[in-house]
Structure 1
Amino acid sequence: MGALVPVRSSIRISWERSEASRVDVDRPSPSYVDRVDRESTLSRAARPVIDALTSELHNEPVCIILTDSKGTVLDRRGGDPALLRRLDSVDLAPGFRYAESDVGTNGIGTALEVGGPILVDGAEHYTGPLRMFSCAGALITHPVTGGLLGVVDITTHANNSNSLLLSFAKLAARRIQQLVVEEANALDHALLSDYYAACRHSGGSVLALGDEVFMMNSHAQQRFDAIDQAALIDRTRDARGGTKPEVFLADLPSGLVARLAYHPTFVGDTLAGGVIQIKEQRTAVRSVTSARTPSIPGAAEASAVWRHVTQEVLDACSRGEWLVAEGEPGVGKLTLLRAAHDHVSPNRRLVVLDPTETATADELLSEAYEELDSGADLIIRHAHLLTSEVLDGLAALLQNVRDGAQAREPWVALTVLADRSEISDQLSIQLLRYFPRTVAVPPLRYHLEDVPALVRSLLTKAGVTDLTFSTMAMNQLMRLPWAGNVTHLRSVLAAVARRRRSGLVELEDLPPECLATTRRQLTAIEALERDAIVEALSAHRGDKPAAAIALGMSRATIYRKIRDYGIVT
């Protein structure tokens, strides 16, 4: 009878902890985390190290795994197809938590428990299916604060185990720690530089915000009291993490309206944070007539952003000032212009001309001339699509109007796309010079708090008055990016109304596209896959393993897809 192989004390104690946690010895059951931060400081610093290590071990059946401080897998790289299939079979994949209390003794969870690097060879794993692997885990700590950031783990087949695995893991951890400090220094320096530059050039109130940094200059501290400062800080949450410049408004408790202009700071492709310059907006003096709420979708309970743009259009319309409304497709440019005109000049006729609906350039120009000559007001929709011939003719026509050819000067407005690449030089030179003001109509994702009021307004307009949305369903609508803006929302409501014309709309009644919150544009194939996963989850009452079997996916794959598409389960 062979002698029993002695077990290291660290492994024996780990088995005792695993037994006390009631870990299943026959099958690992790691918990799954719906959302993991793949753009954290750790992830960014680790990426080039893992890239290099993967290249070094390119021909080896070795997988490099990065986890956060709780053992949740953030990244998994390398490995041959056979190794990857085996890892998927035990859910050692992004999004799954390999804490020792979940899956027993392993290179990730045990390294976290003992607070140091460890190599766990095949038979040393507590759970049977994990014994086909050997894994070496090394802790990644913050070189300055000493805080635990995560674990880098190198896993291979048990029969390929080598003591060098742990050396590679420890070396990778040290490289990542060095990059954490380098990146933090570079990001903080860049943000501080932009902050000081904004303070010098603006002479006004300036804020700066990063992952670990928040600064407010003395001008802002003196100009705004503590309550207004708290409101400003709260409003900056809209900008945090933003990668593009944007402008938004904040209604402050004191009654002031602040205009916040956010500009991001980058180091290479990495966002360091952003600087916000604050200016106080002059409150418009409104007449009794303009104080009435116009019949614009969502205006009755509008956000500060929508109220502001509405008032800008009303002010221009009431003064007869020619106007350009620019914005993404579907934001409601035409609806806003029409509503403002009906509010200010309800007895005047308004005509809308659209180059996409007019057969020829001559017909469009002829119709524009006749309508303006008759005394009608005019909106030219999709002005960015006008041909050179039409632009020449319209420029001459508008010059005649300006010269006093009509007894009463009509009101004229244009709608154009916000994308400046779509605006030709000829349009800018020949036509836009007649329009002293441009109003930017914001995309729906910038004022999602208006979604409930818009839903009620759009349903009422469609004649669907007996349909209401549950709190969960409405909250889900308010999480979506709405790539097609209000037009997109209208089409979703139409789809809901086709299936249910009265009663309460629950979360499961929403179309599949509404049960995913990813903000990137999906390809047609990805959209079909997303819908198939949503439908499978619905058919199996949210049972992810059952849905995976029905779709022919592994459990790890369906969890990854659910996370990538932002599917609500």
Structure 2
Amino acid sequence: MSERDARELDRLRAARDLLVERGLLVQKELAGISPSIERSWRRSVSVHASNAPAPPRFIDSIDARNPLVVAAGPVLDRWQDSLSDMRVAVFLSDRSGQIVARRLTDRGDGRRLDRAFATEGFDFSESALGTNGLGTPMEDRAPVFVRGPEHFNDSLESLACAGAPILDPRTGRVVGSIAFAATLKASNPLMLAMAREAAQQVEARLVEMNAPIDLAATAAFLRSRSSKDPVLVLSAETVIADVRALAVMSPDTHALLWDKLQKLEWKEPSNVVELPASSKTADVHRLGGGSVFALELHGRDDDEHAPQDVAARQPVGRAADAAELEAASRVSGIVALAGPPGAGKHYSARDWLISRADGEEPLTLDAAAAPTAGMAGMAELATQAVQAGRSVVVRHIDVLDLPGFRTLEPTLRLVADAARRGSGTREGTPDTRPRIVLTFDDESLGEQVRSRIVALAPISTIPALRRMRDIIPGLVRTIIDEWPEDDRVAVPPAVMQALVGWDWPGNVSELRTTLELLIAQRGGRVLRVDDLPEHLRRQTRSLSTIEALEYDAIVDALRRAGGNRSAAAAALGIGRTTLYRKMHAYGLDREDKPSVAR
């Protein structure tokens, strides 16, 4: 810092301290102070705002459904992405002055800002903290740049913050503010223009979100369509449909369909989408700037008047289809089931085996619980079960080396021989011979063991849950139906949308754990959005195909690096700052995130 700059900071500090000490009658000593800063200082003194470097009030009442939070989310993400090479943080405050969102471009800045309590939940209103880049723009209803000792509170002196108010486009009322903050040394005059532009972007998003379904436009659209095709119009919370279109709609279908619509790319005036759990497709048209969609339904009508409950039209709560597992087992009696941790391999296998054995529970053995020396005893248990006509699931085969797997092979051959002998079973006759299911994480499976498994049976794969969003509503219902009747809860459409929209890095296990926690702490018979964990309430979009591939690559790199982010960034060929930013965007930097270890 130059000597001139240091003198200017000393002058600002002295003027502010003089006003605090002598009160509002001070006049000429404030010559040369920005009018907006002087007005704010005087307001701060008049309401007895604190200038001591003490923690501001902690409110912590963030509502993820607040339209301001929802509208600003994508705007904050875009600015964070565009500022990835600058040490600038972005803040959003609601009308009360509480910080409700923060985006960082450098991990070190997070620690510095935390020390100044510039993080979610703290009160940065002007009445509480004095002049600052979030509270002052709301009081002045105008953008403002607050540098160093222009801040009223000493704890913010090291920062420069440019903020702008966010106005409700319908009423003109201030609903919050957005601000860009950097260290005083790293600040840039362009930050004020950035704040103005960001505020305008949030206001535009509010216009889009607040656009109701225009009944006149909807009626005109319906009149322009062919009468032979069912038509429906929907937004995030509303559906307008003719009688024929009602047959394919349900709360679950709406949640899945809305998720699909959010991921469409609009290069043409219309798009085509497959309806969940239906033989129909739909031509999709955007109304209301993308917040409302009109759909013309096409396809077979043979099931048009049947109940269209999603759970009844797909494998209910299964990550793998029972018919596919049965078909895979016919040749050798063995099913090799691969998938990421928590994908529901054991649950799917157990569910299928119970259904084909008139409710008899299969024997479940866990290779991870037995060292190689103990595999002989486990193999003996498997043999005894098979000889008694009972099916077996052997989990975590990927932990076995070749000698360990060989101890199981006599039992596997026993089942395979029985399957070959019974291959001539008359069609239509139930095949009740026992089956063996081997489950494993395909990425961790040794090549030698893999070759032995492939020689016995083809490997079927259960993908990550985010690749199978269509089964989430049925899966939720199946999990809830397992609970005692007094514990069961209803899942309204808004909650189901949040569940469908999340990417479940912990797969089915994470979903099951989340639902169990919700049932343990719920306050009624119906789940509310407010009951959901913060990361589910905050997420507002699903990953595109490219984003999903990027997500997988990051998770895999972190796993291979043992959680070392520097090593993971090097393996991916990106900088650490970029990795931190992407981890934040995908929810991988949460304290409560599911483990990425496989």
Give TM-score, length-normalised by structure 2.
Answer: 0.46
Give TM-score, length-normalised by structure 1.
Answer: 0.48
Larger relative CO (CA 8 A, sep 6+): 1 or 2?
2
